[in-house]
Chains A and B, each alone.
Chain A
Amino acid sequence: GAGVSQSPSNKVTEKGKDVELRCDPISGHTALYWYRQSLGQGLEFLIYFQGNSAPDKSGLPSDRFSAERTGGSVSTLTIQRTQQEDSAVYLCASSLVTGTDTSNYGYTFGSGTRLTVV
């Protein structure tokens, strides 16, 4: 597509439920990133994919968080047993550059998913 697409735009869920957030990157972008933006905070790096592989998952805040990417395209971020502290905007971005330093040219971001856990 023309840009990075994220769905849903907004999600309200009950505490303890599982949620899936989807990211569809720009076609041909091999690198894909997930960030979390809590109220009044900057962007917290969660995970990045190079192709279908995630070289480093250490940014994921707990084992309730997982992510996968298939076909070098769409990625899904799954949060199990959601907690109120998971409420945030989850931003996805993609970039064309690959390698150990994938951020040299900046990223193209989606509009994010606002997750509210009640």
Chain B
Amino acid sequence: AQTVTQSQPEMSVQEAETVTLSCTYDTSENNYYLFWYKQPPSRQMILVIRQEAYKQQNATENRFSVNFQKAAKSFSLKISDSQLGDTAMYFCASSGYALNFGKGTSLLVTP
């Protein structure tokens, strides 16, 4: 079975600072994809960043980047220059039969 673990239920960061959200996963697939989704209070899940497992280079999308450690099965999300609008639930997910999600990290960005 595929599992995704997010060990930080809640995190807080000040505006303009950098924060890292942790995620570990377990999969038996040889080729797979990893994702970070953001869920603001509007409930809509928004894709933040996607990483292909066979690519060693870490994915980057503007202020969002990942640290992908394939051997350790670790996939953390770094948010630089945090903004108030980054306040949301963040879910890590792995591909497979269907996307498998972790339980999420609630991120609060404070002024």
Contact = CB atoms under 8 A, between A and B. Distances in A.
Interface of A: 33, 35, 40-43, 45, 48, 56, 59, 89, 91, 93, 100-112, 114
A70 B35 CA distance: 29
A42 B44 contact: no
A49 to B, nearest CB: 11
Given A42-B103, A106-B50, A101 B43 contact: no
11 contacts: A40-B103, A42-B91, A42-B103, A56-B97, A100-B97, A106-B35, A106-B47, A108-B47, A109-B44, A110-B44, A111-B42
Interface residues of B, number: 22
Contacts of B96: 101, 103
Nearest to A107: B99
